Structure 1
């Protein structure tokens, strides 16, 4: 015979109470036969109670004997070890003193042109605007042995496709003649990733180390990845199945067919939590860095060449935003823009600076995050989010 008892103690006195109905006391219904079905006791959700009663009736009439299957070898729940071949090898061979986290990576960001479309797709759906690629920038991080690092910044724009030597650049990477500037950036990124990999790999070739470099964008799972889909479709590299949906791609890996170098595109925001890039830099980065500004709505696919080749600075009125119902920046931010613009000869050069700036200011927060997790022997860049560490 089994009795359900409740022990109550205030530190000096103890009382034992008999519980006649555990389910009413806890508000939880548990299958009395196999204990594998649980639901919350509810006076309003009758359907949940009906599902539970149906399950209990099936268990009552079942002749199946419950059993537990155990692994032949006890398996600890430690994803930082079991999901990381390098760490697993180092621990198994007593070489954790050689452990080092990945400090080499690449950050990237797109700038786009927006054209108002106002096209009725269905009776209930209207396409308001359509985005097209204007530029892509990246900052490559080359780690040194003393935890310092070197940065290489790149930016490719629509203007590159108009240059006289554009076809020559495509031929260097054996790209098809109809390739876009994004294809060119991706080919260059594969080449840079090879060098970053050489900076990170272990001198002992027996230590497993994946030939893969992380490429991180901010909020890229919902935006930037969508702009890369057509560039992923190329005869020089292959694309793996993405993790997540098409509207929220958490990770996707692209492998070069010749070098077998892998680029894994992940969203840096998943490593910090939902916030803006500006807030991330303020909380985790270098306080001296600031996010630059740019009048997105002033430029479209019809006027981009004319507008960006002008040498005069943007006026404050150019930063008016229909989406925000006012100005997209403050007066102080505009004053900082005027200071920044003095370093450039035209608006195109400022655009490149602005695009690169968004990738460069991601580096310090990521490095601080890497340092924090390194204290616990966790290689944070091996994962696509903090939750998977």
Structure 2
């Protein structure tokens, strides 16, 4: 049994895998601000309580001397600035955590389906929602691959057994003129580059077909190119072909 008088007692628990420490309980005795830190270790059979002389060395964090709750990583290059800013607030609130809700000056409706769509937002603001139309025209693609065994090791614990090699690709285009398809495979030299060339030409037509007649309406000009029956990793097979003198990747999504 441990008797503590006139002490602020912190009880911490150690977790072995991975090693980390969590403060679980605080005990304030007789309103004192003195600290007494103890570590509780339990392996399921034996339990030990140890006195912690240097909390920072054990946990790797520096704690606020006022609230004893806020902690910052010692290796953080902004440690001094973060701690100083926090302690200013802590002194003002007498060590209590005060949460404030900061409201906007003007109320904004939570309608992400409207605010995230600049076309619909414009039409709604101008009472023209009857002109709104969904994206009607798009392009699909499907890549066929085969596995090529490589059995390459990377380090002591990683090994690549096989890689995927594309041998054919097909696309279908839905436009205002109807539906048509085009296809390339390994019998054509640089068939992925040939497919990309035609894909961009078809995308120009799809973009034109999806446009509003009234060009004053804000619009999205992205052309949907949808992988049909293709896993996400199929897209990575054409990344290297997208970097050429004719086109580049300007923005990655996701």
Q: Considering the TM-score relative to the shorter chain, is it more than 0.5?
A: yes
**Which residue of structure 2 lines up, in the alignment, with residue 63 of structure 1?**
92
1:123 deviates by 2.6
C-alpha separation between the residues in 2 aligned to 1:126 and 1:96? Answer: 56
C-alpha separation between the residues in 1 aligned to 2:107 and 2:121? Answer: 15
**Rg larger in structure:** 2
| TM norm structure 1 | 0.41
1:200 deviates by 1.6
**Which residue of structure 1 lines up, in the alignment, with residue 24 of structure 2?**
50
C-alpha separation between the residues in 2 aligned to 1:87 and 1:205? Answer: 14
Query: Which of 176, 188, 208 is the equivalent residue of 1:160?
Result: 188
Give matches, 1:1-389, under 5 Å. 50=24, 57-58=68-69, 61-63=90-92, 67-143=100-176, 150-161=178-189, 180-218=190-228, 222-244=232-254
**Which residue of structure 1 lines up, in the alignment, with residue 58 of structure 2?**
none
Structure 1: 5+ residue runs without aligned partners? 1-42, 145-149, 162-179, 245-389
Bigger share in helix: 1
**Which residue of structure 2 lines up, in the alignment, with residue 365 of structure 1?**
none
Please provide the CA RMSD for this pair: 3.2
C-alpha separation between the residues in 2 aligned to 1:97 and 1:211? Answer: 20
1:114 deviates by 1.8
| TM norm structure 2 | 0.61
C-alpha separation between the residues in 2 aligned to 1:129 and 1:51? Answer: 52
C-alpha separation between the residues in 2 aligned to 1:99 and 1:143? Answer: 17
Bigger share in strand: 2
**Which residue of structure 2 lines up, in the alignment, with residue 291 of structure 1?**
none
Structure 2: 5+ residue runs without aligned partners? 1-12, 28-62, 71-88
1:51 deviates by 9.0
How many residues in Structure 1 have an aligned counterpart in Structure 2?
A: 179
C-alpha separation between the residues in 1 aligned to 2:208 and 2:68? Answer: 63
**Which residue of structure 2 lines up, in the alignment, with residue 255 of structure 1?**
none
1:205 deviates by 0.8
C-alpha separation between the residues in 2 aligned to 1:214 and 1:57? Answer: 53
- In structure 2, relative to structure 1, the CA distance for the partners of 1:131 and 1:58 (3 Å cut) is closer
- In structure 2, relative to structure 1, the CA distance for the partners of 1:231 and 1:94 (3 Å cut) is same
1:181 deviates by 1.6
Ranked by relative contact order (alpha carbons within 8 Å, sequence separation 6 or more), the top structure is 1
Three-state SS of the structure 2 residue aligned to 1:238 is coil
C-alpha separation between the residues in 2 aligned to 1:221 and 1:233? Answer: 22
- Check whether the contact 2:137–2:174 (CA below 8 A) recurs between aligned residues: yes
